[in-house]
Every structure is written in C-alpha cells, then in structure tokens.
Amino acid sequence: MNPPQNHNDSSPKIDGAEAVFWHLDDIDWTEVQRQQNADGTVSVVREKWPIIRPEFLSAHVHYEPGMVVRRHGHRSNHVVFVLGGSGWIGSKPCEPGTHIHVPLGSAFGPIIAGPEGLTCWELSFGEFGGWGDQPELYANEIAERGITPLPDPPLEIGDWFVDPRGDWGGERPSPKVDGLQSVMT
C-alpha cells in the first residue's frame, strides 16, 4: 500500500519538530504547598513537570492524605485527570478515572485529598498561574480539620515565572469571564 500523497503545498508539519519522551522516574518531585495537620504531621503537594513553560504545563501531581488546597482557577483552560487515590473537589467525590475541565474564568475546589492521597495528571493550555476564589471555603475546611498552612516552598522555575501562590486576583486582573460558571462547585 502506498502512503497517501500530500496534494497541498501547505502542511501543518514543522521541520525539526519531534515528539519528546520522558519517564516520570527521571523527573524529581517538587514540593509546592505544605500544611501542618491537627496531629502535628506535615502534608504536602508534590509535582513532577515533564513540560513547564510559559504557554503550557504538564504536571504529575500528588496530594498527600488530608491535604487541602484552596478553591482556585487558572489563567488558561485547565484539565485534571485523577489517576489514583481519592478525594473531593468542591462537593464532587473524585476517584481514578474522574476527568475535570476547568475552563478559563472558572474555579474549582477546595481540593481535599482522601486517606490514601490523591494523584492526578494536570494540563494547562496557556499561562498556568492560579488565582484564589472564595477564600472562606478554604478557611472553613482548614479550621474544621485543625490545619495550619505552612509557608510555600520556594520554586526555581525560570525568570519568566510569576508565582501565583497566594494570588487572590488582586495583584493581577482576574480572568473571570462574566456568565461563565465553574464546572465544579
């Protein structure tokens, strides 16, 4: 069988562009958030980034048991796919196979990891920086569980990186889109 002929001089192919392969074992975990639990133990969120650049993020994320992350949105379309463990994102229970699309302008959470933690693959299709939403929801969750937030670990990503942790939309304009509601509440 002969391969199909390209009868069009313009092709989407880019000379020199090739697929890039990574194995998660070859990428170090980076701690991005920490909390002290009521029993004195510390839980963290860890991420592995096969791709992290201004216009795209591909992240393998692990939320340790009991970890609580604020309700937030991203400055681009964001997709979360649950790989392991369980937890809650807002009022929705999440287990392996759960797919969450967080459109630009919407928010989701708080994220609450279950007793075995919560492991996800997350993709951001544009600037991945987050912005907090409804801080009272986070405050209620951590108060109910006796959690004390700890300082965020420093991140060394690149000069282009603007750290979004702690951003509630006041420092930079919020990308919320009027009339667009969150898909997870």
Question: Of 34, 55, 59, which is closest to residue 44 (Cα–Cα)?
Answer: 34
38-75 pLDDT per residue, tens: 999 999 999 999 999 988 999 999 999 999 999 999 88
Residues 148/163/54/121 CA torsion (nearest 10 deg): 0
**Cβ–Cβ < 8 Å for 46, 30:** yes
The CATH code that applies to domain 25-142 is: 2.60.120.10
75-95 pLDDT per residue, tens: 899 999 999 999 999 999 999
Residues in the chain: 185
Q: How far is CA 181 from CA 65, 74, 105, 129, in A?
A: 29, 14, 8, 19
The token pair that represents 91 in the structure block? 């009022």
Q: Average pLDDT, whole number, for the chain?
A: 88
Residue spans of the domains in the chain: they are 25-142
